[in-house]
Amino acid sequence: MTHKLITLPYANDALAPVISKETVEFHHGKHLQTYVDNLNKLIAGTEYENMPVEEIVAKAEGGIFNNAGQIVNHNLYFLQFCPQSQAKAKPEGKLLKAIEDAFGSFEKFKEEMTNAAVTLFGSGWAWLAADKNGKLVITKEANGSNPLKNGMKPILGFDVWEHAYYLDFQNRRAAQIGELWSIINWDEVAKRY
């Protein structure tokens, strides 16, 4: 199985000004492409060669895990966005109810998710994830890790590696996280739940 770079469901400039065209071109077109290329080289002739990338994340360690994890992370990240003009302020239905049950309110969830992303030391990811019973939790994952590694399903992720925001926000991680809320495609996120 050869893993491929995902095709974005929007133009490279569609998320501006939150995520600029230049950032999308570098982050998706070059950075993510490197993870895809590296994983394909690393798994050739191994037990992981014909596994879906999510299964690799759940089972692998070291370089194979790092590259596979970052592919899953980035695929979910890029596919969870839409242009501001199409974004809703919050989810509806079952996902909204699950968020309210887990965190008390959507506003409290936003506060806790933002805090997780802003306070994660170094590089990594903040995730809204569902456990096997569908209960929602927020996790902080270092480097390329992912809730899949702990048997959970990632629903919504914020990339806090500097390459995700530095061209647009320099060292202002909190400002970038605050803006991401305005481009979330809640219909896509709800499908994951």
Instruction: Give pLDDT tens digits along the chain (193 positions).
Output: 799 999 999 999 999 999 999 999 999 999 999 999 999 999 999 999 999 999 999 999 999 999 999 999 999 999 999 999 999 999 999 999 999 999 999 999 999 999 999 999 989 999 999 999 999 999 999 998 999 989 999 999 999 987 887 778 788 788 889 999 999 999 999 999 9
Distance CA 40, CA 44 (A): 6
How, if at all, do strands 136-142 and 124-130 pair? antiparallel
The helix/strand/coil state of 127 is strand
CATH number for region 85-192: 3.55.40.20
Residue 134 · residue 128 · CB < 8 Å: no
CATH class of the structural domain 21-82: mainly alpha
Residues carrying CATH 1.10.287.990, the chain: 21-82
**The whole model's pTM is what?**
0.94
Residues carrying CATH 3.55.40.20, the chain: 85-192
Residue 122 · residue 129 · CB < 8 Å: no
